[in-house]
């Protein structure tokens, strides 16, 4: 099985994201977790919405990371150097997996990508609501609101984990 570390000589990874993507944030997250052995890897970004709408960077890359974007047959034909496709999220319905394999590309799916970010967003939203409630209703002590949140959150977390 092909791994990102096996791509030689120059490692070029293209991140395909929706037009609303955030390359600066992606790069910050990548820099945080990138192993030392991959520090010479070049990451580029292609931000479009259509499955077959890709820049010329697609023809150069050896690995492709798909966030919320598809990968269609026309794009697969153009990706002559591509050997590894990583799909983030459960759904591969917009990725022509059979065509990828027919062109010698390994396809991998990471089903839980983003779940931590979603949980963090949820917690921060709840904290915002609590702070708003304590401002609008000054009679409610902040500690009480925070305690209620902690109890509710720990109960939900325990239920979710089983």
Per the CB < 8 A criterion, the answer to whether 76 and 94 are in contact is no
Give the three-state DSSP class for 82: coil
pLDDT of 18: 82
- Output the pTM of the full model: 0.64
Residue 81: which pLDDT band, with cuts at 50, 70 and 90? very high
pLDDT, mean over the chain: 78
pLDDT of 135: 62
Fold of 4-110: Rossmann fold (3.40.50)
- Tell which residue, 96, 36, 31, 33, has the closest CA to residue 64: 96
Residue 154: which pLDDT band, with cuts at 50, 70 and 90? low
Above 50 in pLDDT, residue 161? Answer: no
Strands 84-88 and 63-66: parallel
Residue 149: which pLDDT band, with cuts at 50, 70 and 90? low
Give the three-state DSSP class for 38: helix
14 burial (CB, 10 Å; 0-12 / 13-18 / 19+) is buried
pLDDT above 90: percentage of residues in the chain:
26
- Tell which residue, 46, 113, 102, 57, has the closest CA to residue 77: 102
Find the mean pLDDT for residues 1-7.
Answer: 54
Above 90 in pLDDT, residue 100? Answer: yes
Least confident of 8-17, 81-90, 100-109: 8-17
Cα 152 to Cα 83, 95, 123, 130, 149, distances in angstroms: 46, 39, 11, 12, 5
């Amino acid at each position: 099985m092909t791994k990102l570390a096996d791509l030689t000589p120059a490692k070029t990874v293209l991140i395909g994201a929706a037009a609303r993507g955030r390359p600066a944030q992606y790069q910050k997250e990548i820099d945080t977790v990138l192993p030392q052995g991959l520090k010479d890897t070049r990451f580029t970004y292609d931000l479009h919405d259509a499955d077959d709408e890709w820049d010329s960077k697609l023809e150069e890359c050896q690995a492709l990371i798909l966030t919320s974007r598809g990968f269609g047959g026309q794009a697969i034909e153009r990706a002559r150097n591509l050997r590894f496709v990583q799909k983030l999220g459960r759904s591969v319905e917009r990725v022509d997996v059979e065509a990828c394999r027919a062109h010698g590309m390994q396809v991998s799916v990471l089903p839980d990508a983003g779940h931590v970010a979603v949980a963090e967003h949820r917690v921060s939203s709840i904290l915002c609501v609590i702070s708003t409630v304590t401002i609008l209703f000054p009679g409610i002590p902040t500690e009480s609101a925070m305690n209620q949140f902690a109890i509710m959150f720990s109960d939900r977390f325990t239920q979710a984990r089983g």
